[in-house]
Amino acid sequence: MQLNDEKKMNHNPQKISETQAVKNDCYMLDEQGREVQVTTSMVQDICIELLKQCRTVKS
């Protein structure tokens, strides 16, 4: 699915002015199967945890 999306983007380039806001919503499913919006804070927290794990493996 991701490859199809990338092909569409490559074949249909659109110019976006720097003043236009780009809407970028991302969702995941919770334990009950409901959609939950992924926030910037959630991504930052996961990155911090992954970095801690990488440092632990190197030690």
Could you report the per-residue pLDDT of 29-55, keeping only the tens digit for each? 999 999 999 999 999 999 999 999 998
20 φ, ψ (degrees, to nearest 5): -80, 135
Whether pTM > 0.85 for this model: the answer is no
Task: Give 52 or 57, the one with higher predicted confidence.
Answer: 52
The per-residue pLDDT for 35 is 96
DSSP 3-57: HHHHHHHHHS-----TTSPPP---EEE-TTS-EEEPPHHHHHHHHHHHHHHHHHH
Token pair of 6 as six digits: 């990338």
